[in-house]
Structure 1
Amino acid sequence: MYKIGIVGGTGYTGAELLRLLANHPQVEVVAITSRSEEGKLVSDIYPSLRGHYNLRFTTPSVDELAQCDLVFFATPHGVAMDQVPELIDRGVKVVDLGADFRIKDTVEWAKWYGMDHRTPDYVAKAVYGLPEINRDAIKTAQLVANPGCYPTATQLGLIPLLEAGIIDPAHLIADAKSGVSGAGRGANVGSLLCEASESFRAYGVAGHRHLPEIKQGLQAVTDSPVGLTFVPHLVPMIRGIHSTMYATLIDTTVDLQSLFEARYKGDFFVDVMPAGSLPETRSTKGANFCRIAVYRPQGGDKVVVLSVIDNLVKGASGQAIQNMNIMLDLPENMGLTALGMMP
């Protein structure tokens, strides 16, 4: 039985880690931290976990966390970079659900996150945790940077086309929508029911923090410069991401359906749907799946890819556990086979 720690257990991703790990047969959560809720029972904060955990929140302690085999960081950016190095040096494996180790160019990271990166050496050591792309590197990694939610849905939709070299990489468009939980659990006027309900708006049009992460991932699979227009939107639902991607084909002879099916044939958590399907976010609610459909409208030179995930599962905590399984040499889908909730 592997011992697991969670730093930052009171946000949505921390709570989702607890929910999913409660049914994992090979791990035990032995430490969960929160400065604001220190001393309180986990089940008092999250009654849905009553009967599954008898843990209390504690103040983060390297000595306590160093007793774990693996530690998840479900913290805002800027936190993990200060605490992870000592854990790594003491032999603990780490999966960071935040953004501290995702972008390899730390100058670019500082531009988007508004602070200097204090541990650039560990950024260089980190493996980007998109299993469908970096599975082999994740197996031997000690530090994994868990991808963001928008980057997960968007990269999984575009990478097969870029790998095959059949689209123009300089002119890509990703039009993405997210449920309100993507904004986190902290108090925010824009996330209030009266503000978000019965409304639909774009944000981050001039530039969003996930843009450099997405471009970095796409650039890794093509030799040509990637140009991406990425526009996120907030929609009045709790969970889910729908990314609609557009690209121009430079080879119209390829069977796109067969290409996607072959690319993801061995990937348990990517479901390439039958031709003509329209994936819905609700089909992935609570589950670690990405569902994808590909179209070539009117048989022209444009390709449209539809990609849906649960932003808190495949877009965050579920994918983090998927990475944990790979790092601990467990079956990749262990503890993650739950199906989407309907309705």
Structure 2
Amino acid sequence: MLASAFATIAVAAALAAIPRAAAAQTPAASQPAADAPRNEPKRGHVDVAGAAIHYQLHGDLGSGKRPLLVLHGSFMSGDAMMPLIAPFTASRPVIAIDARGQGRSSGVESELSYERMADDAAAVLAELGVKKADVLGYSMGGTLAIALAVRHPDKTGKQVILSGTSRLDGWYPEVLTVIGKLTPEAFAGSPIESEYKRLSPSPKKFGAMIEKVKALDARPFGWSDEDVRRIPGKTMVIVGDADGVTLDHAIALFKLRGGGDVGAATQGFLTAPPRARLAILPATSHIGIMGEAATIAAMVTPFLDDKAPPPPSF
């Protein structure tokens, strides 16, 4: 029991701490020079169904380039996603949202659902005048990216599903058991608790936030295979080989989105950008994947740019 409690605290602390470490590991080319002023994002809130949903905008939405919407994982915030935001800001506008009741967003009293959060994200895009955005979501945010694509296909371009699922049973049951046993006390003194209290408009409601997020994954959710197939944009699925998301689910999601093309397999090489891409990172856990920002950006950028794989040089 004590070992289990210790592991839970360690995981919770790592979830908030690793993004900072990952930022330090980002290649110098994607970071500002030491003596250059940091470009602070534009911040704002959009009132949606009783909550003020916070967003941060990096770059110029008038650039003509399709923006990238970044969606964070459970107990996190848009700020915690900076390692995955920073590599993309030089090539496109980036919008990050704090999910309802988390980060700087209000609404911790609301019941959370992926459908509600997808509508929140769509409302932010509408308020910013964004007709369509590519979406990168991690963990809870990966599932939210799927929900957004199903409910608002006209607003969603390409999707990057980073350690996320389209159904609750895409997670190992043991992972869901650990999440179900989390308590606010397990986070005492952790970066997750301190960041919530620093950012939240309701800093005294940390316990309520934990319980709301736990409840999100305590009841079945998911979209049918047909719903997932109908999503119009292209999809990239990325997981670690030691992820909380099962490899079977990641591969099934990849196939539902158009992966596993037998014609391309028999041809031996790709002549056009594929509809779906799959990456399984070696020796990488669900939390550890946040330390692979540089690797992820290197794979995701050509996907977002819809570049064909380079031809073989022989």
Per the normalisation by structure 1, the TM-score is: 0.34
Radius of gyration: which is bigger? 1
Per the normalisation by structure 2, the TM-score is: 0.37
